[in-house]
């Protein structure tokens, strides 16, 4: 288990991993179609994109959360 102070970083790591995996998979198949090299190309693309996605979510996440908080009504 991770200490609570790392919650945002752990969330960012998991969310960026999932989203970048899905998006690069879709983009790879759209660009080159299914073939013998598709999985390798997808994994290479994912390995390149995941650190970028992680950094963006980690850095911009708080700003996006503040924007969302201004856009929605509180409960009750």
Distance (Å, rounded) from C-alpha 27 to C-alpha 22?
Answer: 9
pLDDT tens-digit profile of 18-64? 999 999 999 999 999 999 999 999 999 999 999 999 999 999 999 99
pLDDT tens-digit profile of 53-67? 999 999 999 999 999
Q: What is the pTM of this model?
A: 0.84
């Amino acid at each position: 288990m991770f200490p609570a102070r790392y919650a945002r970083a752990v969330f960012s790591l998991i969310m960026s991993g999932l989203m970048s995996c899905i998006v690069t998979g879709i983009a790879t198949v759209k660009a080159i179609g299914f073939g013998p090299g598709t999985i390798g190309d997808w994994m290479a693309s994912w390995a390149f994109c995941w650190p970028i996605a992680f950094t963006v979510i980690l850095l911009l996440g708080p700003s996006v959360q503040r924007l969302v908080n201004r856009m929605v009504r509180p409960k009750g």
